[in-house]
Amino acid sequence: MRHPQILNRNQTALLIVDVQTKINAVMLDGETVVESTVKLIKAANTLNLPIFMTEQYPKGLGPSDPKILEALQGMQPIQKMSFSCCGSEQLMSRLKEQNIKQIIVTGIEAHVCVQQTALDLLAQDFQVHVPQEATSSRKQLDYQTALERMSRAGVVLTTLESVLFELLEEAGTPEFKEVTRLIK
């Protein structure tokens, strides 16, 4: 029997929140957010996890980061105006249709769209995991406060490697070899 907070790939999805070039340019460690997100996308593809991506008001804030778009191989983002991704009926119905219970949430900004999404997902009985290097804010105080608030509310704060190894579950598989190459 596994602990209920360990990710199970049969019920997990990846949600990438608003990693748009214009916004990411002013984030703390924005490049780390992009690199971590690309690794998560590649691992999710290897493990056949559903991936969802949003863009906040793309008309004004521009498109998602080109490296992320390339890794997603043409997947179209869900456009939104609400800060919380849960304001998108399209996203919420797709999560429920696919019987998703656990969601890995990445993106920016940690204290705005990521936090509101994470809290709203918790309110709808999803388990939320946030790899800390895959999210950021413009200011350290906002980032730290968001992580603390999400953690107190029940979000599982984690790391990229923890997420990957939980999803893999065991060594020696073809997926293990492919995914571990991402972190070397």
pLDDT digits (tens, 9 = 90+) for 1-15: 889 999 999 999 999
Q: How distant is the alpha carbon of residue 119 from its chain centre?
A: 14
Q: What is the pLDDT of residue 88?
A: 93
What's the per-residue H, E or C state across 88-111? CHHHHHHHHHCCCCEEEEEEECHH
Domain 9-181 has CATH 3.30.300.30: no
Average pLDDT over every residue of 112-130: 98
In angstroms, how far is CA 140 from the centroid of its own chain?
20
Quote the percentage of the chain above a pLDDT of 70. Answer: 100
Output DSSP code: residue 76: P
How does pLDDT run across 22-71, given as a tens digit for each residue? 999 999 999 999 999 999 999 999 999 999 999 998 888 889 999 999 99
Candidate list 39, 65, 80, 120, residue with the active-site label: 80
**Among residues 39, 65, 86, 113, which one is catalytic?**
113
Q: Is the pLDDT of residue 74 over 90?
A: no
Active site residue 142: no
What's the average model confidence in pLDDT over 67-86? Answer: 93
In angstroms, the first-to-last Cα distance of the chain is: 30
Is 125 tagged catalytic?
Answer: no
Q: Considering the chain, what is the average pLDDT of its residues?
A: 95
Name the pLDDT band for 110 (thresholds 50, 70, 90): very high
Domains of the chain, residue spans: 9-181
User: How many Å apart are CA 40 and CA 58, to the nearest integer?
Assistant: 23
How does residue 182 score in pLDDT terms, banded at 50, 70 and 90?
confident
What percent of the chain has pLDDT above 90?
A: 87
Residues 6+ apart with CB under 8 A from 153: 118, 119, 122
Residue 86 appears among annotated catalytic residues: no
